[in-house]
Amino acid sequence: MATYPITQEDIDAGTRHNMATVKDTPPDGEEPVKDKDPEDVPIPRERDIVLVKDGVLDLGTDKIANPGDVITYSFTVTNVGNMTLKGMTITDPLPGLTWVDGNTIDSLAPGESATLTATYAITQDDIDAGTRENLAVVEDTPPDGEEPVKDKDPEEVPIPQEREIDLVKTGELDLGENGVSDPGDVITYEFTVTNVGNTTLKGMTITDPLPGLTWVAGNTIDELAPGESAVLTATYGITQEDIDAATRHNLATVTDTPPDGEEPVKDEDPEDVPIPQKRGVSLDKVGVLDLGANASANPGDVTTYEFTVTNTGNATLKGLTITDPLPGLTWVAGNTIESLAPGESVTLQATRIITQADIDACQVVNIALVRDTPPAGEEPVEDPGDALVKIPCKPVTPPTVEVLPNTGSGAGSGNGLGAATMVWASAALLIMALGVGAIGTRRQQP
């Protein structure tokens, strides 16, 4: 009996072949007798291989996934059988994969490993998917008549996504030919949406709760690549309330349609469009004297004044007050106006009883003033209005004319006229007052 430890070569061969010979020691002068016998001892083989594929993404200095960032793949092949493997090849169908030192291994002894390397630059599609998945396969070149051994390993390299969006809303008011803001003048809004992340965004919608806003070509954007922008437009006709507020404020929001299982990204932007105001007011004051049944001015006769206030600007005026320093003036229903829309007029009344001094002066002249309560931080608008009320005056008694007798002496005597030629020749004229009348005048604030 004999023993023999097999070698790797024996295992690789799958058998151990050898020849044994026996011979005797013959008598002198004779040839030995001998015999031989070959033996092939089969050696069981286990051909097996394992592939492990790993990938690492380099995000670069900005630490954000961008097209062109590189995944480095390592492909580790291990012979897990008991037979030396020959001529191994790794295949990977990933487009753009570049092998660093080839994709083949000449030989691997049992238990031995070899690592190959390849690189791949990620694309925008990879970033949008959030991962780069692919499958590698290793296969040996088998001995004649045998099937190759192979293994495969998939690898998913996560790619971090930065889904982010930015909305900038601007508005411009067209004042029209008159250069004054009026109800119906149009604000044109522009909504600029930019993808400021690294992932393609889909199905974006802009919402704006402003009543009366009209989108020119819709309020949706199908798709935006990273860094790409799109501009949508809408129009809005301003109202009197907007003019009164001197601004049109509103807030727009953009939201995308996210991938399944993710939250949408959104952004919002407020916009205040200034609306110029032109605040103006005018006051017209007139007075009419009622002379009563005797048609003669007497103390106690009543003058009725009317104060007509008009909003001559484009903004609603609030809290208007008329002041009039005329003593004895009595307001019929107050001297204030709560609100006055552009172009609107309101008339207030007041009465006053004339005095003897008024009759002696033959007229009453005074000036009233209207003033609003301005918005905070603004000056009030105001306008004066004056009225002249004429009062018929009584006749003035002429002076007495004395006629001196003619003495017949001295120079200039005997002319028959006496001293009448020297005194008040014109005293026969009566000083009459002007007739009854009322004149109203106005002054408007420039």
How far apart CA 314 and CA 147 sit, in angstroms, is 94
**What's the rounded mean pLDDT across residues 267-280?**
95
- pLDDT at 14 (0 to 100): 64
Higher-confidence residue of 144 and 418: namely: 144
Q: For residue 398, what pLDDT is reported?
A: 55
Element (H, E) at 92: none
Q: Which two tokens stand for residue 138?
A: 């290793």
pLDDT band per the 50, 70, 90 thresholds, residue 443: very low
pTM value surpassing 0.95: no
pLDDT of residue 387: 86
What is the structure's pLDDT at 425?
37
Residues 6+ apart with CB under 8 A from 334: 348
As to burial, measured by CB atoms within 10 angstroms (0-12 exposed, 13-18 middle, 19+ buried), residue 230 is: middle
| Fold held by 281-394+438-444 | Immunoglobulin-like (2.60.40)
Which one, of 305, 301, 187, 324, lies nearest residue 243 by Cα? 187
Looking at the chain, the domain(s) classified CATH 2.60.40.10 span 281-394+438-444
- Dig out the tokens for 342 from the structure: 């552009």
Q: Over 90: is that where the pLDDT of 213 sits?
A: yes
The pLDDT score that the predictor gives to residue 427 is 36
State the Cα–Cα distance between residues 392 and 303, nearest whole angstrom: 13
Short-list 183, 204, 187, 208, CA closest to 195: 204
Q: How far apart are CA 34 and CA 52, in angstroms?
A: 57
Average pLDDT for 277-282: 94
Report pLDDT digits (tens) over 15-63. 677 777 878 788 888 888 888 878 777 767 788 999 999 999 999 999 9
Residues of the chain with CATH 2.60.40.740: 49-158
Arithmetic mean of pLDDT, 157-164: 95
Q: Check pLDDT > 70 for residue 402.
A: no
- Residue ranges, comma separated, of all CATH 2.60.40.1530 domains in the chain are 165-274
User: Which pLDDT belongs to residue 397?
Assistant: 53
CB-count exposure of residue 259 (10 Å: 0-12, 13-18, 19+) = middle
The full DSSP string for 188-203 is EEEEEEEE-SSS-EEE
The rounded mean pLDDT for the chain is 87
Distance between CA atoms of residues 13 and 8, nearest Å: 8
Class level of CATH domain 49-158: mainly beta
Q: What is the DSSP string of 36-78?
A: EEEEEEE------EEEEEEEEEE-TTTTS--TT-EEEEEEEEE
22 vs 303, residue with greater confidence: 303
Tell which wins on pLDDT, 429 or 191: 191
Contact 203, 220 (CB under 8 A): yes
- Residue 226's Cβ-count burial label (10 Å; 0-12, 13-18, 19+) is buried
Reading the block at residue 315, the tokens are: 């903004």
Report the C-alpha gap between 408 and 402 in whole angstroms: 18
Topology of the domain covering 165-274: Immunoglobulin-like (2.60.40)
Whether 281 contacts 381, CB under 8 Å: yes
Lowest mean pLDDT among 37-46, 149-158, 181-190, 412-421: 412-421
- Segment 105-134, tens digit of pLDDT: 999 999 999 999 999 999 999 999 999 999
**pLDDT tens digits, one per residue of 346-383:** 999 999 999 999 999 999 998 999 999 998 888 999 99
Q: What is the pLDDT of residue 118?
A: 97
Determine which of 17-21, 142-146, 158-162, 427-431 has the lowest per-residue pLDDT on average.
427-431
Report the percentage of the chain scoring pLDDT > 90: 71
pLDDT at residue number 438: 42
**Residue 419 confidence (pLDDT) above 70:** no
Residue 12 has pLDDT above 90, yes or no: no
What pLDDT, on a 0 to 100 scale, did the predictor assign at position 260? 87
Question: Which of 163, 162, 139, 140 has the alpha carbon at shortest distance from 152?
Answer: 139
